[in-house]
Amino acid sequence: MSAPLRILISGQHGQVSQALQEALKGLGELIVLGRDQLDLSQPESIRPVVREIKPDLIINAAAHTAVDQAESEPDLALAINGTAPGVFAEEAAMLGIPFIHYSTDYVFDGSKDGAWTESDAPNPLGVYGRSKLAGEQAIEKAGGQYLILRTSWVYSLTGRNFLLTMQRLLQEREKMTIVADQIGAPTWAGTIAQSTRVMIERWRDGQPGAWGVYHLSASGETSWFGFAQAIGQALTSVGKPCASLEPIPSSAYPTPARRPLNSRMDCSRLEREWGVTQPDWHDALLECLAQQR
């Protein structure tokens, strides 16, 4: 019987954090710290907290995720997404414990034809992507046992995300236009959390894969328009109203931050090294929605 772990999770109310709090039950003591206890906008304040808690594992599930807002507050985005993860990694390395951090498809510019691999050169288009890349680089510089898990298009039944926004708007409106030329894989926060648990268990049991950067997103691909269609089909299947949908190009829906057109992620390295496979995005969506009813 493995000894219970003492796991520090930064972030309390975010989608991934809430999914982790559910998925990691039974592994040990979960010490979940929100902004009041751990303010990532003041990165140096992290050190005394970690040293007092003395965890066996640190998971950073907190981030500045407001992509458009980041364009107008780059210093704040860099502190939370760039500097703070590096401080966590330094403290983890000093304690000799693993550090798990979540990154994003936004570190890439979306110009590649195929799926992005871990060896592809990052080239973020905006402040959010640059801040997340800075976090990756700070973690790599700190060294130690770390996992940087890049994911994409995260949604869940909590917080603010595309799924919940679409469920509301599709029932309120008669017609909607949705971007159809950005391609990726919607990834359920529950999938991310369950995959993280498998990796933690392998490390705990003395059979970890290689440390480093991995892609972790659902398998398959769709557009935001296709994702909206699937959400609409789920609504109509239970007798709820649904707006008609019209596909549009990104150019018809300008935003402060540019989005990568291709966010497809190759997750084969994660499967090879850690034995973690990802469900099809549509299957995961149905599993998520089943918990809503």
The pLDDT value recorded for residue 31 is 97
Order of all β-strands in the sheet with 212-215: 28-33, 5-10, 57-60, 99-104, 146-151, 212-215
The pLDDT value recorded for residue 188 is 98
List, for residues 150-170, the tens digit of each pLDDT value: 999 999 999 899 999 999 999
Please report the domains of the chain, with CATH numbers, ordered by start residue.
Answer: 5-154+187-219+263-279 (3.40.50.720)
> What is the DSSP pairing of strand 187-188 with strand 99-104?
unpaired
**Total-model pTM:** 0.96
Neighbours of 75 (CB within 10 A): 11
Angle between helices 189-204 and 15-23 (to 10 degrees): 50
Q: What is the DSSP letter of 80?
A: I
Query: Cα separation of 210 and 270, whole Å?
Result: 9
List, for residues 182-237, the tens digit of each pLDDT value: 999 999 999 999 999 999 999 999 999 999 999 999 999 999 999 999 999 999 99
Answer yes or no: is pLDDT of 44 > 90.
yes
The greatest distance separating any two alpha carbons of the chain, rounded to the nearest whole angstrom, comes to 57
Query: Cα separation of 256 and 248, whole Å?
Result: 18
Average pLDDT, the chain: 96
Collapsing DSSP to helix, strand or coil, 99 comes out as strand
Query: Cα separation of 49 and 71, whole Å?
Result: 30
Across 113-138, average pLDDT: 97
The pLDDT value recorded for residue 157 is 96
Across 97-119, average pLDDT: 97
Least confident residue range of 80-84, 125-129, 149-153, 254-258: 254-258
Neighbours of 231 (CB within 10 A): 23
| Of 189, 70, 85, 196, nearest in space to 133 by CA | 85
| Alpha helix (H) residue ranges in the chain | 15-23, 46-53, 67-70, 74-78, 84-95, 127-142, 162-172, 189-204, 224-237, 268-274, 281-290
The pLDDT value recorded for residue 2 is 72
Bridge partners of residue 245, in order along the sequence = 176
Do 198 and 270 touch, CB atoms closer than 8 A?
A: no
Query: Cα separation of 132 and 129, whole Å?
Result: 5
The pLDDT value recorded for residue 29 is 97
Identify whether 253 is a catalytic site residue: no
List, for residues 87-100, the tens digit of each pLDDT value: 999 999 999 999 99
- From 102, 106, 128, 214, the catalytic residue: 128
Query: Cα separation of 139 and 36, whole Å?
Result: 24
The pLDDT value recorded for residue 1 is 53
Across 103-126, average pLDDT: 97
Query: Cα separation of 70 and 74, whole Å?
Result: 6
Answer yes or no: is pLDDT of 293 > 80.
no
Answer yes or no: is pLDDT of 130 > 60.
yes
Do 41 and 79 touch, CB atoms closer than 8 A?
A: yes
